[in-house]
Amino acid sequence: MQIDPSSSAGLSVQIAQAIKDAIISGDLIVDERLPSEAELSDHFQVSRPTVREALKRLAAQSLIRTQRGASGGAFVNRISFEDAYAQQVTTSTLLLSMNEVSFDTACEARYALERSCAPLSAARRSADHLATMRAEIFRQGQPGLTDVAFCASDVAFHRALVDGACNPVLSYQLAGAVEAMQPLMNMITFTARDRAVITGLHTRIANAIEAGDGGAAVAGLQDLEDETRELAANVFAARARR
């Protein structure tokens, strides 16, 4: 593991990248103990605070974990999909909050990915996935449900649809699209939408998933995308007229 002291990149960033590269290449394996801070400091010819900062960067990415005690230290972490979901959602949320992704781009990506899950979900979903979808549809129809609660239920419905595909890679890829982009869409369209229309579309999709009809589920999602885009267009047009 080497760094370039003349590089414009910070030393802690370079050290973190060097260790990350060693993990990816397999030179450092899962559960292997990293050299101590002192050893890393000597190896990279930097101060221990610089090494400590590099290790913090790696821990923030869930690439390493630290343990206290005589047998403690920093160890290569075994990353789970659950850990990866959180990072995906955080990254997507930041991109949206910094206006790096437009509404149309987010909408296009989210529904394109979700439609790819629909046939798989129709074929593979468990009783629990379907029960979650039905429970959220029931919740969405309750009088007095706040906009925040409706949004959370909306996300939970689509999360169950995606997870019903029983493909952890697809679930990971859609974590940001559903849990970050879906709230953005709701935030923009909630003043114009008719909850009964949204709930009706959710019911169509759930019925298709239950019947094992992937094509009907895809069609329902397409209609939901069309509804979302029309609502957004109306909201943006109203803002422009002010």
Q: What are phi and psi of 12, to 5 degrees?
A: -65, -35
Reported as a pLDDT band with limits 50, 70 and 90, residue 6 is low
- Spans of all domains in the chain: 11-76, 81-241
Is-same-fold flag (11-76; 81-241)?
no
Q: Is 81-241 assigned to CATH 3.30.390.30? A: no
Alpha-carbon gap, residue 90 to 103, rounded angstroms: 18
Is 221 buried (19+), middle (13-18) or exposed (0-12) by CB count in 10 A?
Answer: buried
Per-residue pLDDT, 122: 97
pLDDT digits (tens, 9 = 90+) for 166-201: 998 888 888 777 777 777 777 777 777 889 999 999
- Portion of the chain with pLDDT greater than 70, in percent: 99
CA dihedral 225, 231, 235, 237 (to 10 degrees): 90
pLDDT confidence bin for 118, thresholds 50/70/90: very high
Q: pLDDT-derived band of residue 203, with 50, 70 and 90 as boundaries?
A: very high
Place of tokens 């790819």: 116
Q: In CATH, what number does 11-76 get?
A: 1.10.10.10
pLDDT at 148 over 80: yes
Q: What is the pLDDT of residue 182?
A: 76
CA distance 201 to 179: 19
| Mean pLDDT over the full length of the chain | 88
- Find the mean pLDDT for residues 206-215: 97
Instruction: Round to whole Å and give the CA distance between 54 and 48.
Output: 10
pLDDT tens for each residue of 73-105 = 889 988 777 777 777 777 777 777 777 778 888
Predicted TM-score (pTM) of this structure:
0.71
pLDDT number for residue 164: 96
Helices 103-124 and 147-163, axial angle in degrees (round to 10) = 50
pLDDT at 8 over 70: no
